Structure 1
Amino acid sequence: MAIYVVMQPPAGDNKARDAIFVRDSFTWLGFLAAPLWLAWHRLWIEAALTFVVMAILSVTGEKLGLEGAGSLLSLLVSLYIGFEGQALRIAALRRRGWREWGVVEAGNLGDAETRHALETGEDGEEAAPMPRIVPDASLARPPQTGMALGLTHTPGRP
């Protein structure tokens, strides 16, 4: 099971369909292509900073004759983005005014959206009215007084 952080939009009707689900896990694409992954999620400052740091580490490692060290430090930056990329997304959403609704545990994104919709009481469709089990009292027959047939006890008879 995965953990999804549910972020609600800053203003509006705050329906379940407007929420953003951020999976709280290691990000393989963030690890393999850190600046591109950050840019894809519109984390422009973080993407530029990551690109600059990785470039500086690579160039410094080449100039000093430590190609392995420069590559290893760039790998550490990629590992950081892999582990903390989703937290960076959540922080960026908070800066834009989004609010954290809570956490949903589910097997995949579709299940997380369904659980969130059920917990907020929104199912996306207008619910059909429930059928009446008990009839309306105004439709009932008036009580009968008088003689009745059946196996009832009649007062005064054994």
Structure 2
Amino acid sequence: MAIYVVMAPPAGNKAQDVRFVRDSFTWPGFLVAPLWLAWHWMWIEAALTFIVMAILSVAGKRLGLEGAGSLLSLLVSLYVGFEGQGLRIASLRRRGWREWGVVEAGNLTDAETRHALETGEVSDEQPALPRIVPDASQARPPQTGMALGLTHTPGRP
């Protein structure tokens, strides 16, 4: 089972716009760290990651320690792989999103279903009150033609 952090949108947005962030290692964040960060609108983190990786690479070549520069760049990628989802949650918080809670599920679809069931039970709106006056659109149409049985005809005793 995976754990998903549910992020609710800022006030004024639709409730359907919630984001589910899986709390786990992210392979795309490890393999292509700056691109993954930019994909999730974390521009500052993406730029810093790219700059740090470039500096480590250049410093390794200048000092004749290509292996050390590559290993240090690998450590930066590992950091993004392990902490990328936490960085994503922090980025959403800075943009006004708030943490709704945590959902445990096997996959994203199950997490969305569990979240929908939990939010469906608790509603801010009060249930509709029963109508005292019947709605005229739901009344039966008047009967035309001949009717069988005991009926009262106006003008006849």
TM-score, normalised to structure 1, is 0.75
Other-structure match for 1:27: 26
Other-structure match for 2:65: 66
CA contact (8 A) 1:8 1:14 kept: no
Q: Which runs of 5+ in 2 are unaligned?
A: 122-157
Q: Work out whether 1:11 is the aligned partner of 2:7.
A: no
Q: Work out whether 1:77 is the aligned partner of 2:76.
A: yes
Query: 2:3, 2:43 → 1: CA distance?
Result: 26
SS in 2 for 1:110: helix
Other-structure match for 2:89: 90
Query: 1:75, 1:3 → 2: CA distance?
Result: 26
Other-structure match for 1:48: 47
CA contact (8 A) 1:5 1:21 kept: yes
Shift of 1:18: 1.5
RMSD (Å) for aligned C-alpha atoms: 1.1
Other-structure match for 1:36: 35
Query: 1:108, 1:14 → 2: CA distance?
Result: 23
Other-structure match for 2:106: 107
Shift of 1:13: 5.9
CA contact (8 A) 1:54 1:74 kept: yes
TM-score, normalised to structure 2, is 0.75
Query: 2:17, 2:38 → 1: CA distance?
Result: 22
Shift of 1:12: 2.2
How many residues get paired? 121
Aligned residue identity for 2:84:
G
Q: Percent identity?
A: 84
Could you give the per-residue CA deviations for residues 91-120 of structure 1, whole angstroms, max 9, x where no partner exists?
Answer: 000000100000000011010000000000
Shift of 1:14: 5.0
Q: Which runs of 5+ in 1 are unaligned?
A: 123-158
Could you give the per-residue CA deviations for residues 28-55 of structure 1, whole angstroms, max 9, x where no partner exists?
Answer: 0000000000000010000000000000
Q: Work out whether 1:121 is the aligned partner of 2:120.
A: yes
In the TM superposition, structure 1's runs of 4+ consecutive aligned residues that sit over 6 Å from their partners are none
